[in-house]
């Protein structure tokens, strides 16, 4: 496995590999890798000749009052994990190389970036789509893998790839959960013990709403209310629900009222200064 830091070197590597007829899978990450990331890499390993993992904490997708400074990092540990699952190249660009002086271009997927996380984190998806476009141009993948935990991000990237004609297949990989159901996330490392334990209530509340749906309840507001009630009952630590919503799982529009299409329930919760997101398809 090689580590490439330089943007010219990675693009040369990708160009030569593609000219030699090799297929490339890209797994973009911000590091502090967990089993969810490793699942993306294993899927990538099955699908392409070469697997490139990028590790870059992208400053432009964080707002001024967000957790850029507290974002956990462990490059040595990450490299060992990548090596263990058979990654070929880990791309670790620098901030200065990706965003040199005078940098001023961005990619904006206008509509589906607006709600959910986009409402609470203005500019976030523009930062994501800008860096992902750059990573696509630098690593020239045939396929790229993203986790379904970031359900809106996945939809935004799929839209961008269609709209901008990137010749790349986007594959979404189901959420990997801890034993108690908490969706794996690098940010879980920032939770104190008590909040970490209580964070499992988020998935349990979503699962309970899904049971109600399976029993025939099709009212979006009742299902969202059931989640809120369950959280209120179970949490002892202070917490704040940023949103709990039902969306059409395909076109990512909000469902208010009767659910008649395949739907996904999405939630964002703040717990001890850490923002957790999760979702469950109904």
> Which residues make up the interface to ligand PAF (CB under 6 A)?
28-30, 58, 61, 128, 131-132, 150, 153
9: Cβ–Cβ under 8 A, 6 or more apart, which residues?
A: none
Nearest to 41 by CA among 61, 20, 55: 55
Query: CA of 113: how far to CAs of 155, 175, 187, in Å?
Result: 9, 21, 22
Task: Output 44 or 128, the one with its CB closest to ligand PAF.
Answer: 128
| The residue to which tokens 């209530």 are assigned | 201
Residue length of the chain: 282
CB of 60 to ligand PAF, least distance (A): 9
CB of 56 to ligand PAF, least distance (A): 7
Task: Output 132 or 202, the one with its CB closest to ligand PAF.
Answer: 132
Query: CA of 209: how far to CAs of 29, 35, 161, 206, 224, in Å?
Result: 31, 26, 33, 5, 7
CB of 62 to ligand PAF, least distance (A): 10
CB of 31 to ligand PAF, least distance (A): 8
Q: Which residues pair with 248 in a beta bridge?
A: 263
Phi and psi at residue 240, to the nearest 5°: -140, 125
Task: Output 153 or 230, the one with its CB closest to ligand PAF.
Answer: 153
Q: 280 in helix, strand or coil? A: strand
CB of 165 to ligand PAF, least distance (A): 20
Burial readout 81-118 (b: 16 or more C-beta within 10 A, e: otherwise):
bbeebebbbbbbbeeeebbeeeeeeebebeebbebbbb
Nearest to 182 by CA among 280, 259, 104: 280
Based on the residue annotation, tell me whether 37 is a catalytic residue of this protein.
Answer: yes
Q: What is d(CA 203, CA 275) in angstroms, rounded to the nearest whole number?
A: 14
Active-site residue, from 34, 37, 124, 270: 37
Active site amino acids: 37
């Amino acid at each position: 496995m090689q580590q490439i830091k330089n943007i010219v070197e990675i693009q040369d590597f990708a160009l030569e590999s593609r000219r030699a007829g090799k297929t490339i899978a890209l797994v973009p990450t911000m590091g502090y890798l967990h089993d969810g990331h490793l699942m993306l890499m294993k899927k990538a390993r099955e699908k392409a000749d070469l697997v490139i993992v990028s590790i870059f904490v992208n400053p432009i997708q964080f707002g001024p009052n967000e957790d850029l400074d507290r974002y956990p990092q462990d490059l040595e540990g990450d490299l060992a994990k990548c090596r263990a699952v058979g990654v070929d190249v880990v791309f670790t660009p620098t901030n200065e190389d990706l965003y040199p002086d005078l940098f001023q271009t961005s990619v904006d997927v206008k509509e589906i970036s607006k709600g959910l996380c986009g409402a609470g984190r203005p500019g976030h998806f523009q930062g994501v789509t800008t860096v992902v476009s750059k990573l696509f141009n630098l690593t020239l993948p045939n396929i790229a893998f993203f986790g379904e935990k970031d359900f809106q991000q996945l939809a935004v990237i799929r839209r961008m790839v269609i709209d901008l004609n990137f010749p790349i297949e986007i594959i979404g990989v189901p959420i990997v959960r801890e034993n108690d159901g908490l969706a794996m996330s690098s940010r879980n490392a920032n939770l104190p013990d008590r909040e970490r334990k209580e964070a499992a209530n988020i998935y349990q509340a979503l699962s309970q709403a899904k049971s109600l749906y399976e029993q025939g309840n099709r009212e979006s507001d009742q299902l969202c209310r059931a989640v809120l009630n369950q959280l209120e009952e179970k949490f002892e630590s202070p917490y704040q629900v940023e949103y709990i919503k039902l969306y059409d799982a395909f076109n990512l529009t909000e469902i208010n009222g009767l659910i008649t299409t395949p739907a996904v329930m999405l939630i964002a919760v703040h717990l001890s200064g850490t923002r957790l997101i999760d979702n469950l398809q109904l």
